[in-house]
């Protein structure tokens, strides 16, 4: 009986979407620009990586061909002729370039509304929101109150946070309210408690997520975010692929931050992990445990959080090479009728100005030992991915998207 494994390479976009200009992202190309930088030696980093981008397994599945289909240009070192599987390009119809929109649409539910966002001005958050937040959470105040990089603002305000007990609150161009606090000095459970309060206050504003950003360390040089991040997210407006497979009596394995993104809906098994190696291991573990008709979904967040937002081209290149090197392990564990799909939820071009996501098309790389190779074209909605998985698992068609299988 068939199973499906869906890997979201968070932020691994392959060229600006048709509406990228509306987001200031025309010309962005996360994967392609990384390959170009690596080919020139600009992405070399002693002790980490050097030379042209080395991703033979992704290339064999069609990443080069997908980028050429998306942009009309083949990046250096990649092939336009895949050796197996099917390849194509995903185009998002949901507005914005945030994590929930991309993931919900991938799972068959495009976002039918506009998210709420916070302005670029400082202070950023509405005064009444912060007043209500401090009162309900019993806080002496907050720090930050602006758009910021998470690692930068923790380095800048972490000492004051420890000294005063005030959490660090910040946002980005995404629909998000983020709260950073020290795991021991402030307390991890206390951080989760105030994030729940913030989520209840921001939900009527259509803010997609409140994210708990715990960190450890005793000074700016040693502060480091931990794997105990938790997302408090609005629930999708209708059943996703996860809900549909669970309702059919089948297993749904949510690995990494997947369960948080879908507000826990449709999840039967939740596996947490930190870093690409551990998330990869958890995915392999799920493949060992998964029964017939199971759906396994993993988000590999480090591409986005550790390298895209930090505009770290060498780090991003090394992360792609690490994932690629382990890909044969996953393929070797596939049953004859298993389906593997690799895709992304948006872009985050590390060569692009700023530190935010980029509005890009995404690769769709499809492989099964029982599937013939070929091209699936440019899909008009990410929902085609979810509907293809639904078709593979024998589920009834959903309201959005069309199977390419």
Q: Please indicate whether the domains covering 3-113+237-392 and 127-233 agree at the CATH topology level.
A: no
Q: pLDDT of the chain along its 405 residues, tens only?
A: 899 999 999 999 999 999 999 999 999 999 999 999 999 999 999 999 999 999 999 999 999 999 999 999 999 999 999 998 899 999 999 988 989 999 999 999 999 888 999 999 999 999 999 999 999 999 999 999 999 988 899 999 999 999 999 999 999 878 999 999 999 999 999 999 999 999 999 999 999 999 999 999 999 999 999 989 999 999 999 999 999 999 999 999 999 999 999 999 999 999 999 899 999 999 999 999 999 999 999 999 999 999 999 999 999 999 999 999 999 999 999 999 999 999 999 999 999 998 889 999 999 999 999 999 999 999 999 999 999 999 999 999 999 999 999
**Angle at the Cα of 366 from the Cα atoms of 233 and 309, rounded to 5 degrees:** 45
Would you call 79 exposed, middle or buried from its count of C-beta atoms within 10 A (0-12, 13-18, 19+)?
middle
**Terminal Cα distance for the chain, rounded:** 17
* Nearest by Cα to 31 from 81, 6, 65: 65
Name the pTM for this structure: 0.92
Sequence ranges of the domains in the chain: 3-113+237-392, 127-233
CATH superfamily of domain region 127-233: Phosphopentomutase (3.30.70.1250)
Match domain 3-113+237-392 to its CATH number in 3.40.720.10, 3.40.50.2300, 3.20.20.370, 3.40.640.10.
3.40.720.10
């Amino acid at each position: 009986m068939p199973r499906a494994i869906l890997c979201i390479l968070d932020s691994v976009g392959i060229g600006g979407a048709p509406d990228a200009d509306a987001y200031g992202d025309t010309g962005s190309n996360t994967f392609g620009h990384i390959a170009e930088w690596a080919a020139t030696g600009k992405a070399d980093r002693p002790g980490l990586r050097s030379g042209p981008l080395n991703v033979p397994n992704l290339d064999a599945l069609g990443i080069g061909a997908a980028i050429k289909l998306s942009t009309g240009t083949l990046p250096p070192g990649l092939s336009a002729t895949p050796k197996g599987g099917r390849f194509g390009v995903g185009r998002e119809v949901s507005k914005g370039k945030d994590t929930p929109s991309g993931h919900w649409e991938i799972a068959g539910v495009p976002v039918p509304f506009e998210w709420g966002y916070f302005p670029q001005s400082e202070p950023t958050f509405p005064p009444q929101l912060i007043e209500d937040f401090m009162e309900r959470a019993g806080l002496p105040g907050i720090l930050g109150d602006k758009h910021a990089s998470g690692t930068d603002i923790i380095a800048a305000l972490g000492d004051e946070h420890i000294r005063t007990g005030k959490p660090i609150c910040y946002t980005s161009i995404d629909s998000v309210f983020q709260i950073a606090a020290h795991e021991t000095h402030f307390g991890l459970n206390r951080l989760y408690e105030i994030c729940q309060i913030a989520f209840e206050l921001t939900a009527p504003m259509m803010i997609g997520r409140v994210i708990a950003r715990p960190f450890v360390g005793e000074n700016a040089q040693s502060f480091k975010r931990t794997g105990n991040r938790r997302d408090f997210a609005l629930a999708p407006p209708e059943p996703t692929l996860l809900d549909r497979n669970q309702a059919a009596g089948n297993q749904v394995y949510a690995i990494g931050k997947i369960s948080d993104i879908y507000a826990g809906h449709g999840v039967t098994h939740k596996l947490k992990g930190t870093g690409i190696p551990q998330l990869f291991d958890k995915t392999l573990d799920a493949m060992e445990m998964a029964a017939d008709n199971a759906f396994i979904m993993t988000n590999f967040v480090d591409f986005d959080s550790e390298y895209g937002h930090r505009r770290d081209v060498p780090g991003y290149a090394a992360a792609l090479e690490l994932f690629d090197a382990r890909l044969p392990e996953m393929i070797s564990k596939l049953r004859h009728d298993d389906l593997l799909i690799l895709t992304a939820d948006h872009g985050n071009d590390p060569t692009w100005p700023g530190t935010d996501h980029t509005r890009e098309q995404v690769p769709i790389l499809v492989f099964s030992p029982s599937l013939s190779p070929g091209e699936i074209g440019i899909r008009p909605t990410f929902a085609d991915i979810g509907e293809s998985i639904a078709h593979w698992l024998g589920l009834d068609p959903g309201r959005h998207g069309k199977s390419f299988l």
